[in-house]
Structure 1
Amino acid sequence: MSASGERRKRGRPTEAERLTRRDHILDAALQAFISRGYGAVTIDEVALAAQVTKRTIYSYFGDKAGIFTAVIERFRAAAAEVQSDNIVDTATRIVEVLFSDAAVGMHRLMIAEASQFPDLAAGFYESGPRGYVALLAEHLPGDRAEREVVAEALFGVLLGEPHRRRLLGLQSEPDPAVARAHAERALALLRVGE
């Protein structure tokens, strides 16, 4: 029986069931990575926490690095869910996502384990920071090269010292109003969106 008390039908899962299962696996992996570190976590541990088989995990993600990358990409997808072409809304959403406890936990983990897992660190950078820069660039005027330069500077200012304080545990997760004010200050500093 499922958690809701209904009997699950046999056969192939629906697309909705697949997406729910995928999210459940990623939630379990996120918690395991944050609490134990990438190197210490096993596929068996994630499968047990997610209540799925190892085979299911392999079919969804391939291997542990694939799970890790999917966790990082899910943060970026959450940031891209903004229903606006407004750069302020996009920058605000990036701050909300990257300053969250979960994203900060993954960032700490990657800093701690980057030298031991350089390929994973490279994947983290491409799936994470590079993806956020590209997301910001989509909302900026100018040619592609100019948008990339401004977007990279903006991303740096959006994180900056407030994010370092989050990484060090000196500041709590911002509420939506604080996140928006921070994004607006960063945009004003770079004179973006004026």
Structure 2
Amino acid sequence: MGAASKTFELDSLIEACQHALTTDTPQEAIRNIVSDMIQDHHQVRQALGQQNVASVEKLYASETLSIVNFVWAPHMTMPAHNHNMWAVVGVYEGREDHIFWRRKKDAGEGEIEAAGAASISSGEVICMNIDAIHSVTNPTNLFTRAIHIYAGDFFEIERSEWETLSLTENLFDPEKNRERFESENRKYQAIKGR
């Protein structure tokens, strides 16, 4: 990726990731690209902005690659969901706590159980396979920012989400997700206004 590790350039990131997809180990190659990029988190933050608004910002999407800038509000949680494609996540500010889930063996359709956890802070990267199911929490009082890269069109693929209490599987609803982020922003503004 070269110069992009010193100065964040979206076009360079896209080009590097597209090239990585042609290699024998594309996820590992993209993991290395993201790891290199987020070491200079100030450059990434400066390039992408520092608005204190929870958001899902599409930086790039095609049939084979999506690059998304996630901004998580303080204490925000995204319920269990899958992607149906492998992913690489690199935090450039704050922290993401992940709970990993798996489908229960010999259980009803869609039932899941906790299977592990990981916590990644600024400068750290995590990889998820095509079958991964996870929930994400920003455990901090500050906004968390991360680059998520997916091996497909994150915005068009059919996928699932699970209800928080019942862990019932449903089709992922983009409108419900948009409202989730807007609700977090209203909550943040209400607390900030006190």
Query: TM over 0.5: same fold?
Result: no
- More helix as a share of residues: 1
- More strand as a share of residues: 2
Q: Give the TM-score of the pair, scaled to structure 1.
A: 0.31
Higher relative contact order (CA 8 A, sep 6+): 2
Q: Give the TM-score of the pair, scaled to structure 2.
A: 0.31
